[in-house]
A and B are shown apart, each in its own frame.
Chain A
Amino acid sequence: MFQRIKILTLLQLSNKSRLYSKGSTRIYSHIAIRFAVILALTVVVGLILYAFKNILYIPVNEFLMIFLLMLTQGLNIVATMIGLINDLYHSKDNQILFSLPAKNDEIFISKMLVHYIHEFVRNLFVLIPIFVAFGVISGLRVGYYFSLVLILLVLPVISVGIASLISIPMMIAINFLKRHNIVSAIVILSMLGALFFLTIHLVSQIPTPIRIVQLYHRFILWLTLAMQKIAAAGTIYTVIGRMLFGFKYALNLAVLIGVIVGLGSSTYLISKPIYFRLTSSSQENTVMRKAMHKPRESSTLFLTFFKKEFTIARRSINELLSNYALLLTLPFFMYVLNYIYMGMNRSSLGNQIVLVLNIMVTLLIVTGSNTASATAITTEGYEFVLLKTAPYNTSRMAWAKITFNLIFTTLIIGLSFFLFSRALPVFPKEDIGWLFMLIILVNAGHIFWSFQIDLLKPKLSDYATTGSISHNQNVSKSLTYGLWLAMGFGVLAIAAFILMRSLGWYLMIGVGLGFMLTRLYWFQTYLKAYFDDIEY
């Protein structure tokens, strides 16, 4: 049995990491390099802890170490959980492993062992530098380092155990959300809403008038107290930390052993049966209800493509939201920054600078979110070839995509400004209105420009082969143009608000409108000239 588990574990490990054959001398150089990396990391962490203590005046004590232990292990649990979801339930090696002459228990245990080993290696690079640096700085005794070795062996058991238990409800939730796109979107938007109100609550704790140095001191104080209080709260990692620092060693060790036994039993008794059930009923094999409605013909070609955009968005809402993730942060940035700007005792020059900076920050975010327009044709991939064979004016597709992107971004920008004006009534309403108009005009112009970039050089075959838009040059170009636009309108705003004052907004809106109309003209011209020449 142990031999079979060992073979299964090595089989899976060889897929994920480099293994050396027995007697290979390269293994020594591998170990030496890793050792040197750990040593270098220890020195770096030592310097960071020194800075914490002597520059930031954050107490470097056992509670800080326990907090760091909780933080690193929390992140490890999340990483392991994602790995387990992929490995246990989605992995294609399940079919191969179940066909091997091994018992189901052995496959499950081998999968857990693979994650234990990964977790152990990850801890070597994270925990050894932190805890050895702390031990050296604090002059701790030799017993501390022996306890550290024991803890390094035990921590992965806890992480993998907790992750395997959490992965069950997570997997059920993921499967449910995959089947219900609308629910998925509602959950994401509700979470964003809750996050926005939490931001308002947290930011409102900052006392006004704001002085930057005092704000910094208060932030450090808040950080210190939060870390110390979280560490003192009784979790299993607090128990481990206390044991590591020799505080009530026997009692804490007994608690630790109890937790490990409990976690091990729960993983075997709860995770294992559910793993087999969830693995054997994959997404593809689940019988789904067929669509009952009959497709209706649209009156115009434009409407057909426009409806198609909505259908794609509805079917892949998560992808749509991830395309506009940066834009969704707009209300957060607008609120937090303006709360701080408004909280300072500003001069009249300060008020003008606030307007200039608002234009620049908002444009940076808005133009950074038009990557979907810069890949609109590219993401059609192989489908574009079929589209071109249709006996219609298929360039209407471009207008449908542009209209959809304009509507969607305008809605999010509008919502951001609405939330901003409600949450920060002290900001002049008139300026909010003008700023909104300017952003909408520049955003529309930038969408036309980004689409034009993709129109002139679409990467259809690249996308059809890889299915990915990472390292896409059109995206980089769109982002660069956006950056220059934000800077350019910022410089223009300095002239408009500081030198011309009363005519400031009129000048800005005039230039914004001019920019949008120019980009519209060029887009239309290029579309007519080049759309038919696009080739796969």
Chain B
Amino acid sequence: MIILVLLFSIVSILLIAVWGTLPENANQIQLESLVIVDYDEENNDGDKFIDVSEQIDEQSNIYVIHFSTSPSNAQVSLSATASSDQVVLQTDSFSNQVHVIYDLNAIQEKPTITIRITDQLTQHYDEVTLWFKTPGVIIVPDL
């Protein structure tokens, strides 16, 4: 009986979503900028870097990238891509966060990975590179 009630509950939510909601507003506000706000350093070319060596280990395998969008009520369709398949990305468009999930191999190999966050509607994007910085390394700009 409880399963029947659960199934009926799910169907009821879908019913209201399909027949009982107001149409979406046709005048959607477009995104003007998308910026990754939280990073450690930036080279002369404007590339952003975050050192994750303090945050990522076998006890904690998720790094959260924070970004901001403006205007805040803009209609967006966000997607995040990585330069390597050693991590999996999950985008939270409510909280403007991208969760970068490392596996055990990646934690051992300490790869340098560039993450790009793109708005599919306007093609605005920003990038950041996550790396395990070794002491004494200096970022050299591309020539």
Contact residues, B77-107 vs A (CB, 8 A): 88, 90-94, 99, 101, 103-105
Q: How far is the CA of A245 from the CA of B5 in the complex (A)?
A: 42
Given A221-B99, A357-B15: A364 touches B8 (CB 8 Å cut-off): yes
Establish whether residues A341 and B13, one from each chain, have CB atoms under 8 Å apart when the complex forms: yes
B101 touches which one: A207, A224, A340, A361 (CB < 8 A)?
Answer: A224
Establish whether residues A214 and B20, one from each chain, have CB atoms under 8 Å apart when the complex forms: no
Establish whether residues B104 and A242, one from each chain, have CB atoms under 8 Å apart when the complex forms: yes
Q: Find chain B residues with CB under 8 A from A59 CB.
A: 88, 90, 101, 103
B20 touches which one: A57, A62, A234, A344 (CB < 8 A)?
Answer: A344
Q: How far is the CA of A357 from the CA of B91 in the complex (A)?
A: 33
Establish whether residues B17 and A344, one from each chain, have CB atoms under 8 Å apart when the complex forms: yes
Interface string of A332-357 (1 = CB under 8 A from B): 01001100110011110111011001
The reply to whether the CB of B138 lies closer than 8 angstroms to some CB of chain A is no
Establish whether residues A349 and B19, one from each chain, have CB atoms under 8 Å apart when the complex forms: yes
Q: Find chain B residues with CB under 8 A from A248 CB.
A: 58
The reply to whether the CB of A203 lies closer than 8 angstroms to some CB of chain B is no
Given A232-B59, A340-B13, A353-B16: A479 touches B21 (CB 8 Å cut-off): no
Closest chain-A Cβ to B56's Cβ sits at a distance in Å of 11
Q: Find chain B residues with CB under 8 A from A340 CB.
A: 13
Tell me the interface secondary structure of chain B in the complex. mixed
Establish whether residues B2 and A326, one from each chain, have CB atoms under 8 Å apart when the complex forms: yes
Given A62-B103, A221-B92, A228-B62: A347 touches B17 (CB 8 Å cut-off): no
Chain B residue with the shortest CB-CB distance to A345 = B22
Given A61-B104, A341-B16: A234 touches B21 (CB 8 Å cut-off): no
The reply to whether the CB of B53 lies closer than 8 angstroms to some CB of chain A is no
Establish whether residues A361 and B104, one from each chain, have CB atoms under 8 Å apart when the complex forms: no
Chain A residue with the shortest CB-CB distance to B20 = A350
Closest chain-B Cβ to A13's Cβ sits at a distance in Å of 35
Given A346-B20, A347-B20, A354-B20: A212 touches B103 (CB 8 Å cut-off): no
Please list the 3 inter-chain residue pairs (A to B) with the smallest Cβ-Cβ separation, ordered nearest first.
A350-B20, A59-B88, A61-B103
Chain B residues engaging chain A, CB cutoff 8 angstroms: 1-2, 4-5, 8-9, 12-17, 19-22, 58-62, 88, 90-94, 99, 101, 103-105, 108
Q: What 11 additional pairs, Cβ within 8 angstroms, besides A61-B103, A245-B104, A341-B13?
A: A61-B104, A63-B104, A214-B94, A218-B94, A232-B61, A242-B58, A242-B104, A344-B16, A346-B22, A349-B19, A351-B20
19 contacts between A and B (CB under 8 A): A59-B103, A61-B104, A62-B103, A62-B104, A212-B17, A214-B93, A220-B90, A228-B62, A232-B62, A242-B58, A242-B104, A333-B5, A337-B9, A341-B12, A346-B22, A350-B21, A353-B20, A354-B20, A357-B16
